[in-house]
Structure 1
C-alpha cells in the first residue's frame, strides 16, 4: 500500500522521529551568554599541507565514529528564520545528530551534540567544525571533554575547511529548503526531519559509498567487524 503524502499523515510519521532524536522547535526569548573558548587557532586536526605548501583537508577515515563534522545553516520562513545544526559521520556520510531551533545559539550546537552522543556512544571521536562561536562555547567544549571526544576547528572563514559538511547542506537546500516558500518554522522543521530521516540517511545512494545509502554502508561495516 502506498503511504499517504497528505500533510497530516506525514506529520504523524515524523513526530515519533522527532521524539526519538530529542528534537523540538524551541522559541527562547533570551540569547545565550555562554563564553566562547575552544581549541587554539592551530588546532585543526584534519588539515594537511601538500607538496606545494597548500593547506587542504582530508575527510576520510576507516570506520564510523572516528571523525564527525559539524555545521549550522539557516533558512527563512514567513515567521522568521529557522536554524539547523547537523553532525555527519565522515565514514558513512550519515547524519548522526541534529538540532533545529529558531535561534542560533550555543544551545543549538550543544543539543545536536547530545543527540549524536546518545545515539552513537562515541569514544575518542574527532569533532571538526568551522571556527564559529556556537562550537567554541564552553558548554559545547564540556560536552566534548566529558565524553572523551576531541575538538578540531578550521580557520575562520577558511574556504574548504569543512567542505564535506557544506556539501550536505547544499543537498538539503536543493531538496528541501529551496523547493518552496515556507509559511511556518514548524512546517519547515518537519520537512527537514522527514528528508534527513527517511530519504538522505536511508534512501539516497551515494557514489562515494559504492552507490549504497549511509545506513547500508554502516551495516556492511558492522557485519564485517562482527565476523
Structure 2
C-alpha cells in the first residue's frame, strides 16, 4: 500500500500529537526532590487522589499523609473529583495537626485540583509551603502512590462494591 501511495504522490494524514498547555497554570517549585526522609512530624505532607469503581459509578478519595509517621492525617471521599475533594482533605489535616506556619511542605502532583486558585489559597492560609513534582512522573510522589496501591490491593479490590457508601 505504501509503495502504491508513494508512486501516486499520495501521503497519509498524520494526527497531531496532543499537547497539554500548562502555561498559565499555577505551579509550585519541587521542594522535595524525591527526598521523603524527615526528622520529625509535620515537616513533609504528601497528597494525592485515587479512584475506585463501584456498581453505581466511581468513588474518589483524596488523602494527606505525614511522611514521618506515614499516617493519613486528612481525607475526603466524594462521587466527584473536584477542588472541594482536595480542599476538604487538606482542611482536615490542618485542623487535626495545626502545623506551625512556614515549616510544613505539602507536596502534590500537577492535577487541576492542586493547581486551582482555591487550593492554593487554602494552602497559603494554613501557612503551608506548596511543592509539586515533575509533570507526569509517578516517582515524584511515590510514597502516596505506594499507599494507594496497598489500599487498593488489600481493601478495595477484595470484593465488588455495590454503592459508593458501602466502601469503608
Scaled to the shorter chain, the TM-score interval is: 0.7 to 0.9
- The corresponding residue for 1:44 is 30
Secondary structure at the counterpart of residue 91 of structure 2: helix
Deviations 1:141-161 (A, max 9, x none): 111111111100011111301
Structure 2 residue runs without a partner (length 5+): 1-23
Query: 2:98 and 2:166 mapped to 1: Cα distance?
Result: 31
Deviations 1:109-168 (A, max 9, x none): 000000101100012210001111111111111111111111000111113010001111
Secondary structure of 2:140's counterpart equals coil
Matched residue SS, 1:70: strand
Where structure 1 has 5 or more consecutive residues not aligned to the other structure, the ranges are 1-35, 48-56, 192-227
Q: Distance in 1 between matches of 2:166 and 2:30?
A: 37
* SS of match in other structure, 1:91: coil
How far apart are the structure 2 equivalents of 1:39 and 1:120? Answer: 25
- Contact 2:27/2:110 (<8 A) preserved: no
Q: Normalising by structure 2, what TM-score?
A: 0.82
The CA deviation at 1:174 is 1.2
Equivalent residues of 1:154, 1:162 under 8 A apart: yes
SS at match of 2:63: strand
**1:37–1:120 distance in 2 versus 1, CA, 3 Å:** farther
Give the one of 14, 39, 42 matched to 1:65.
42
Scaled by the length of structure 1, what TM-score is found? Answer: 0.61
CA–CA distance in structure 2, aligned partners of residues 38 and 66 of structure 1: 23
Q: Which of 152, 157, 161 is the equivalent residue of 1:178?
A: 157
Give the number of the structure whose alpha-carbon radius of gyration is greater. Answer: 2
